[in-house]
Amino acid sequence: MTPESINQAHLAGSYMAFKLAKEVYAIAILKVREIIGLKEITRVPSAQEFIRGVINLRGKVIPVIDLRLKFGMEQIKATDLTVILVVQYAQNERDMTMGILVDEVLEVLDIQPAKIQPPPCFGEVEVNADFILGVGIVDERVIFLLDIDRVLTSDDHHEISSIAQS
């Protein structure tokens, strides 16, 4: 087996697919705790713009980020399809919970190793794509497989941790 095929086998599995703008992304289903409808998000003063604020989820304060803004996309008004994915992610060997605001949840996909390609190489162009595990090809669609543990920078983790603890 080549290193690439080993990596593809490691990435194969079930993913929650969702849309941001016209693009399709997916997170390993084991990272997704639940999907909740959009609810009131309380803004945290002085937080970065992509950190939309916090929600009260059954008595627990959960930070919510807007992946559109984190990825440099245009902010849009929420629709009836906008939801919050409550995800578990690792930070300094601790499990953390946060909500991610997405345009629409699509489906749970079972992606086989042969349908996963390595992340694209952008040559000498500076693109921070460390959070892309690979690219899934399902029914002719290109799906970016995200490593939710790496979407946020260490500074982002620190800010979100302090928000969650306040």
The CATH number that applies at residue 55 is 2.40.50.180
Total domain count, the chain = 1
Strand partners of residue 36? 84
Q: Do residues 101 and 64 lie in contact, with contact meaning Cβ atoms separated by under 8 Å? A: yes
% of the chain at pLDDT higher than 70: 87
| pLDDT at position 156 over 80 | no
Sequence-distant (6+) residues with CB within 8 A of 94 are none
| pLDDT at position 5 over 70 | no
User: 19 lies in which domain range?
Assistant: 3-165
Mean pLDDT throughout 118-139? 75
On the CB side of 8, CA atoms within 13 Å amount to 16
